[in-house]
Amino acid sequence: MLRIFITCAFLAPHPFSLSHTHTPQREYRIHPVKWTAPQLESWLRARGPQFADKTPKDLTGKVVMRWGPSQFSAFFGPKGGDLQAALRDEAARCDAEKKRQSF
């Protein structure tokens, strides 16, 4: 059975999908640690333009995923803890989806 996940933060076609057929492409989440700078900026902008405006243009998901609570608060202000929790939740959803797809 082919499932389509549309509610993902960032979607990418499944590497084994056949684009020349008429079947829908399988999509999967991209883990935040693999986000490029534009993907991270887009995710931050969805949570509030004030967050995306504060980020350097070369900041990637790999760097942000290594930050602790104090770095989030120092960089994003009082809402930094909430932002870190949302990022960790997104990473957990990606991990759960990967685990579910591996069965």
Q: Where are the domains of the chain?
A: 31-101
Long-range contacts of 74-81 (CB under 8 A, 24+ apart): 76/51, 79/48, 79/51
Q: What is the pLDDT along the chain (103 residues), one digit of tens a residue?
A: 444 444 445 555 444 444 555 555 656 789 999 999 999 999 999 999 888 888 888 999 999 999 999 999 998 999 999 999 999 999 999 999 888 877 6
Pull the structure tokens for residue 74. Answer: 């120092």
Write down the architecture of domain 31-101 according to CATH. Answer: Orthogonal Bundle (1.10)
